[in-house]
Structure 1
Amino acid sequence: MLLIQKMIRLFGGYVKVRVEGYSAERFLNLCSYRQIDVWGLVSRQNSYEMYMTLKGFRRIRPIVRKTHTKVLLIKRYGLPFFLHQNRYRAAFAAGALLCTALLFFYSGYIWDIHFEGNEKWTEETLLEFLETKNIAPGMPKKDIDCTQIVKDIRQQYDDIIWVSASIDGSRLRIQIKENEDTFLQENPKETENQQLTDAAETVSAAGTDLVASANGVITSMITRTGTPLVHVGDTVEEGQILVTGRVEILNDAKEVTGYQYEQADADIYADTQMEYEDTISRSYLKKIYDPKRTRDLVYLKVPFGKKTFGKILFGSAGHSYKKWETYTSEQQVKLGENFYLPVFYGKIHIRSYTEKKTLYTKKEVQEILSLHFQHFSEDLKEKGIQISGNDVKIHVDENLAVAKGTLYLNQQITRAADTEILEIERNEINESIGTDD
């Protein structure tokens, strides 16, 4: 309510006045009696300062004569005074009207598409899909069907379980909820167990075995289908069959009469070892930046359809640097929280550098190799491989630094392989052979 009242006063205009005289209080009483709006009243020495509307100020002349007070105009505010001051500035008035018209025109378009909640599908991928549905920045709001956008996304991406589309100002806001189980399975760093399951589905339907993918000592084993050939505590070698998909069929005499083939399925973990080695050179090219050889460019660009028009406002892109780095930061112009305009501005920072051959210190190479080992260990953990210990040591000489040693792991060691098909030899009695009586 206060904001609306303030806007009304600005459009109508108001003034700040000082009332002096012996009957200033009577002046205020008469203003109240005649319903002249007065606010911001402050008592000064032998005077009062206050604000009143331009309309009310024009009505106080009889009150001033009646109370024998003196009214001094201190300051003017609002649109009427602004227009009066700029009445001879036709270009300014035309620019203001044009700016207002452009803002009104641009408010009917979408200038930004914002996604929330997407992890697997990048914004670039989703934007490319929306473009195939003729949804892109720069299109009129009236042509956007949020309900249809939701349906299209749900139909295109099976792993997106919930979608919401709404228009906030000049922004199309799309909220997404992905299926986390599907995301984990289709992640490039999926678990070893899922990789084995996928591999098993591609082998022969006649039957599959699970064989050891590395040497180790079995620590745990859970068999779901198939016949286990090893037990916890056994030492196995790479390629050895752990669980066979061939199941014997026995008759009443416990004789093998045939085989049934199935897909062996089991979780088998074993203690294994891995040799680790990482080597880096102690010499490298160090960049030396010259603080006096830098350039800062400020640019403005406006996309128009599939084209983009840009202009450098400050600075020059030309330089004679032999080697340089460029950093760019860019923002989109917006009014308020959600009213985005099709105008982008940014800054380009260019700095020159030279290269000098330098040696890492012993402490620096140790930190680099330790960081490499930490990242390698994190990658193993993401694959479901646990590191139970290591004896990796760092050795530094004049030219090289080496991290080398053995990792002691606990991991799944199964991979799928085709089951060997066996044939049962049958010895049938020849009834044509007999004896004479």
Structure 2
Amino acid sequence: MLEENLRLTFPDISWVSVRKEGISLIVNLEEMVKYNAGDKEAVKPRYICSSKDGEIVSMVTRSGVPRMRVGMAVEKGDILIDGVMEILDDSMMISESLPVGADGDIWAKVTEVYQKIYPLKEESRNYGRASWKIHLSAGNFSMILGKNPYKDSEEEKYDCLSEITAFWPGIQIQTEAFRPYVIVPSFRTVSDVKMRAEEELSDIIREFEEKGVQILENNVKILMYEDRVEAIGNFVLIEPVGEGCETLPEDIQNDEIGEADEYNRDND
């Protein structure tokens, strides 16, 4: 056939079609795209993967091949846009794989769990007078003033603050402060703790709004108990879930190993 003869004569042709219209012979062909090896560093394969579990509600692909579509459920790590484009010949076989990079915007409906516990009982430290230890060193000369009086005590609790000051090469002073303390319990009212929980919940909602995240549902409730206040529930959000990655996620690497090996051979 003429198509086969053309492909054998011109190996750079990836697709050819011949048809007759009246007394005319129409030949359509496509030349195989040659990939410049010198450009491989600038167009490394790149994938856009899902950063969260969710359901895709909007997807715009600017570069690459979309692997998912609107309405599909995705899990964290799933490839959303493939940065490797496959070139098919006229027999629909893969003739070449080109790394073109992936670029696009993907938004999904996700559920984000929210839980915070605010105990009514808190512990604070009541500090006593500090004891000091000073270590002066200058060349081979060394002198220590003071000590840690709580070093051998198993019951005494203390904090140690240390600071080193260098005046000249080889001359420095190290000061250590040992501050004993006792644990003092304190209790807050339920209304104060509830107010704090509401303020932090409002901060989270404001952060969503500043990031352009749409809140479909706010299912967080603030519950009050005898010893604590809990903010618990979830948000149903629409937010961007695409994140760029230069390598495939580990759980799907085996499925793509043939493609990766082919690309690596092209790089060698």
Q: TM-score range by the shorter chain?
A: 0.5 to 0.7
Bigger radius of gyration: 1
List alignment gaps of at least 5 residues for structure 1. 1-202, 287-354, 425-437
Equivalent runs, 1:209-224 vs 2, <5 Å: 209-224=47-62
State the 1:381 CA deviation.
Answer: 2.3
8 Å CA contact 1:284–1:360 kept in 2: the answer is no
Name 2:46's counterpart in structure 1: 208
Equivalent runs, 1:56-95 vs 2, <5 Å: none
Residues 1:423 and 2:262 aligned together? yes
Name 1:388's counterpart in structure 2: 216
Name 1:236's counterpart in structure 2: 74
Instruction: Looking at secondary structure, tell me which structure has more strand per residue.
Output: 2
What is the alpha-carbon distance in structure 2 between the residues aligned to residue 224 and residue 253 of structure 1? 27
What is the alpha-carbon distance in structure 1 between the residues aligned to residue 185 and residue 242 of structure 2? 50
8 Å CA contact 2:121–2:185 kept in 1: the answer is no
Name 1:367's counterpart in structure 2: 195
1:276 partner SS: strand
**RMSD of the TM alignment (CA)?**
2.5
Kindly tell me the number of residue pairs found equivalent between the two proteins: 153
8 Å CA contact 1:247–1:260 kept in 2: the answer is yes
Instruction: Looking at secondary structure, tell me which structure has more helix per residue.
Output: 1
What is the alpha-carbon distance in structure 1 between the residues aligned to residue 213 and residue 247 of structure 2? 27
Considering Cα pairs closer than 8 Å and 6+ residues apart, tell me whether 1 or 2 has the greater RCO: 2
Equivalent runs, 1:336-351 vs 2, <5 Å: none
Which string of whole-angstrom CA distances, capped at 9 and with x for unpartnered residues, describes residues 56-98 of structure 1? xxxxxxxxxxxxxxxxxxxxxxxxxxxxxxxxxxxxxxxxxxx
What is the alpha-carbon distance in structure 1 between the residues aligned to residue 62 and residue 214 of structure 2? 23
State the 1:376 CA deviation.
Answer: 1.2
CA 1:204 to 1:396, structure 2 compared with 1: closer, same or farther past 3 Å? Answer: farther
Percent identical among aligned pairs is 28
What is the alpha-carbon distance in structure 2 between the residues aligned to residue 231 and residue 367 of structure 1? 43
What is the alpha-carbon distance in structure 2 between the residues aligned to residue 356 and residue 240 of structure 1? 49
Residues 1:253 and 2:106 aligned together? no
1:423 partner SS: helix
Which string of whole-angstrom CA distances, capped at 9 and with x for unpartnered residues, describes residues 201-250 of structure 1? xx984110111111101111111001001111111111111110010112
Name 2:103's counterpart in structure 1: 265
What is the alpha-carbon distance in structure 2 between the residues aligned to residue 419 and residue 227 of structure 1? 16
What is the alpha-carbon distance in structure 2 between the residues aligned to residue 372 and residue 218 of structure 1? 29
Q: Which runs of 4+ in 1 moved over 4 A?
A: none
8 Å CA contact 1:244–1:419 kept in 2: the answer is no
Name 1:280's counterpart in structure 2: 118
Equivalent runs, 1:191-202 vs 2, <5 Å: none
Residues 1:225 and 2:63 aligned together? yes
8 Å CA contact 1:204–1:418 kept in 2: the answer is no
Query: Letter of the aligned partner of 1:357 in structure 2?
Result: S
CA 1:285 to 1:422, structure 2 compared with 1: closer, same or farther past 3 Å? Answer: closer
What is the TM-score with the length of structure 2 in the denominator? 0.52
Name 1:357's counterpart in structure 2: 186
State the 1:391 CA deviation.
Answer: 1.4
State the 1:259 CA deviation.
Answer: 0.4
Which string of whole-angstrom CA distances, capped at 9 and with x for unpartnered residues, describes residues 360-406 of structure 1? 13x33222211110001112222332221121111222221110111
State the 1:251 CA deviation.
Answer: 1.8
What is the TM-score with the length of structure 1 in the denominator? 0.33
List alignment gaps of at least 5 residues for structure 2. 1-40, 125-183, 249-259, 264-268
1:387 partner SS: strand
Name 2:225's counterpart in structure 1: 397
What is the alpha-carbon distance in structure 1 between the residues aligned to residue 42 and residue 102 of structure 2? 12
